[in-house]
Amino acid sequence: MTAVVACLLIMLALHLLTPYWWWVMIVPFVYGAAAARSGGPALLAGFFSAGLLWLGGGLYFFFAGGRIIAGRVAGMFGLGPSWPLVVATALVAALAAAFAGYAGYAVRDLFKKKTAARG
């Protein structure tokens, strides 16, 4: 839970300061590589932190004047109504972050034994 909140806040700050979307991959990856205890939590931390952040962002901007543009972009993707676009926004971030978090842990795992042996 702490990891989810920490990742979410760090990503939010980075999103507000820069235009790059890929913080939702970098931050969970770094968390997985630096602090995750196992693959499952690394994956879930990424999934929920990024998913919730983009869900929240999508919902916020949808209600803050984004209805028309969401309708148009939904039309571009042939989606019909625009709510699936909010879901898609959250899912894209969640899945990308989940993969990144897990990969971060997988890299960390390569060095884990050495660290344990040394300690």
Partner 1 sequence: MKYTRAVVSLLVVALVFWALDNRHGTFPPLGKLLNPFAGFWQNGSRGDTLPERLSVRGLRDEVRVAWDARRVPHIFARNDHDLYFAQGYITARDRLWQMQIQAFYAAGRLSEVMGRTSLESDRFNRRFGMVWAAERGVEAMKRDPTAGDTVQAYADGVNAYIGSLRQKDYPVEYKILDYSPEPWTLLDSALLLKYMSYDLTGHDDERWMTAARTALGEATLDELFPFEPPNFVSPVIPRGTPWDFTPAPAPQAGEGEAPAGPEKAGFPSAHSGRTAGASAFDPDAPEAGSNNWAVSGSRTKSGRPILANDPHLRLTLPSIWYEVQLSAPGCNAEGVSLPGAPLVIIGHNQKIAWGFTNAGDDVLDWYAVTFKGRSHKEYLYDGKWLKASVRVEVIKVRGEKPVVDRVVYTRQGPVVWLEGEPEPANKSVPAGAALRWLAHDPSNELLTFYRLNRAWDYDGYLEALASWDCPAQNFAYADAGGTIAIWHNGKYPLRRKGQGRYILDGSNPADEWQGWVPRGQNPHVKNPPRGFVSSANQKPTDSSYPYYLGWDYASFERGNRINEILEGMKDITPEDMARMQNDNLSLRARMALPPLLAEIDDRGLAPAEKWALDELKGWNFENLAGLAAPTIFAQFWSDFNETTWNDKKTGGLWAMHWPRSEVVIDLILNHPDSGFFDGRTTPRKETLRDIANAAFRSAVRELQAQCGPPGRSWTWGEWRRAGIGHLGRIPGFGSEKLPMNGGGNAVNASGPGFGPSWRMVVELGAEVRAWGIMPGGPSGNPGSRYYDAGVDDWVAGKIYPLLFLKSADEANPGIVARTSLGGVK
Q: Please, what is the minimum distance in Å from the beta carbon of residue 65 to partner 1?
A: 4
6 is a contact residue toward partner 1 (CB under 8 A)? no
Among 1, 64, 116, 117, binds partner 1 (CB under 8 A): 64
Minimal CA–CA distance to 39: which of 109, 83, 105, 84? Answer: 105
Q: Please, what is the minimum distance in Å from the beta carbon of residue 60 to partner 1?
A: 7
Among 38, 40, 75, 81, binds partner 1 (CB under 8 A): 75
Interface residues with partner 1 (CB under 8 A) are: 15-16, 19-22, 24-25, 29, 54, 56-58, 60-62, 64-76, 78, 85, 88-89, 92-93, 95-96, 99-100, 102-103, 106-107, 109-110
